[in-house]
Amino acid sequence: MLQYLIKRLLYAVPTLLAVLTVVFFVARVLPGDPAQVMLGEQAGAEAIQALRVRLGLDRPLVEQYVDFMQGALSGDWGTSLVTGRSVLGEVLNVIPFTIELTLASILLGALIGVPLGAWSALHRNSLVDYATRIGSLFGLSFPAFVMAIMLLLAFAIQLDWFPVISSGGGGSVSERLLHLALPAVNLGIIMAAYITRVTRSSMLEVLGEDYVRTARAKGVPHRAVVWQHCLRNALIPVVTVVGLYLGILIGNSVLTEIVFNRPGLGKLIVGALTQRDYTMLQGLMVVYTFIIVVVNLLTDLTYGFIDPRVKYQ
């Protein structure tokens, strides 16, 4: 098992290097110039060129690449081209917000999605089943930012329960939760919709398996069949989906972060890209890729807990 873990993490190294190299070159091939962005739309070519020299962007690409790789491997991620602040510092600043939001929405999604999906599968084609399916489709296909604005209108303006600027709050736990609530619900609804759908379909699948029929025929109590045999097996695809979305959620929660004014990794990545902040973008991609690798690993390990037939080699 430990061996497997080490092996997996070692395999992540080439992934990281590949991502870094791709980001490094693609970012520089993209039209658009950080010096231009920094100096604004009325800057002259001379000022832009002077800044490029100061930032070291005029050096040969390969030289910059070697420098960057050496830095990256020794743990020095440099400073943001645009703001001049440390890349690592910026990332560490926002990452608690991202983790908080992601975990909260996954938790919310699983708490709603798994029971609802299982229930819906057990009462297939009942009224509840239809309601669940329609509800989950609604959660899935409705644009998240439209929902975000609706949540704000309802809970921050009409009811005035939560602040519009959910920027994370101060020190107290209650304030943090207050600021977390609406963004987490916004993403949680989408998560719940996905989880409900997948739980329901894989539950139906399992209910039709031979061993379930056998168990039933043997007279194993219904409750036990459902909990011990079905749900357990039905959870594999669910875990895959959760794992998949954990990564996607972190990178693509930009719109939610923007509407609710929360700091976050997604906002940082898009900001770095639109400003052509090469160093920031590279640093962020290292972090982001690392998160994806770890999440994938955890997902695969979870299969083993759920289904002992899965072997790790």
x/- binding map, residues 139-178, to other proteins, per CB under 8 A?
-xxxx-xx--x--xx--xx-xxxxxxx-xxxx---xx-xx
Report the b/e string of 113-126 with b at 16+ CB within 10 A: bbebbbbbbbeeee
- Told to check if 38 binds other proteins by CB under 8 A, we report yes
Binds other proteins by CB under 8 A, chosen from 98, 186, 273, 282: 273
Q: How far apart are CA 109 and CA 241, in angstroms?
A: 11
Query: Residues in the chain, how many?
Result: 313
Residue 110 binds other proteins (CB under 8 A): no
Q: Which residues make Cβ contacts (< 8 Å) with residue 150, sequence separation at least 6?
A: none
Among 247, 279, 282, 283, binds other proteins (CB under 8 A): 247
Span interacting with other proteins, options 17-25, 57-65, 68-76, 98-106, rule CB under 8 A: 17-25
**Window 177 to 196, contacts with other proteins (CB under 8 A):** 177-178, 181, 194
Q: In the range 207-236, which residues lie near other proteins by CB under 8 A?
A: 207-208, 210, 222, 236
Asked if 310 touches other proteins (CB under 8 A), the answer is: yes
Among 183, 195, 269, 283, binds other proteins (CB under 8 A): 269
CB of 65 or CB of 142, closer to other proteins: 142
Establish if 294 lies at the interface with other proteins (CB under 8 A).
no
Complex with other proteins: residue 68 or 198, whichever CB lies closer = 198
Binding mask 48-87 toward other proteins (x if CB under 8 A, else -) reads -xxx--x---------------------------xxxx--
Tell the smallest beta-carbon distance from residue 208 to other proteins (Å).
4
| Burial class, 52, CB count within 10 angstroms (exposed 0-12 / middle 13-18 / buried 19+) | middle
Binding test (CB under 8 A) with other proteins, winner from 1, 3, 42, 75: 42
Decide if residue 304 touches other proteins (CB under 8 A). Answer: no
Does residue 40 bind other proteins (CB under 8 A)?
yes
Beta carbon nearer to other proteins, 103 or 178: 178
* 103 binds other proteins per the rule CB under 8 A: no
Q: Which stretch binds other proteins (CB under 8 A): 35-43, 57-65, 66-74, 98-106?
A: 35-43
116 binds other proteins (CB under 8 A): yes
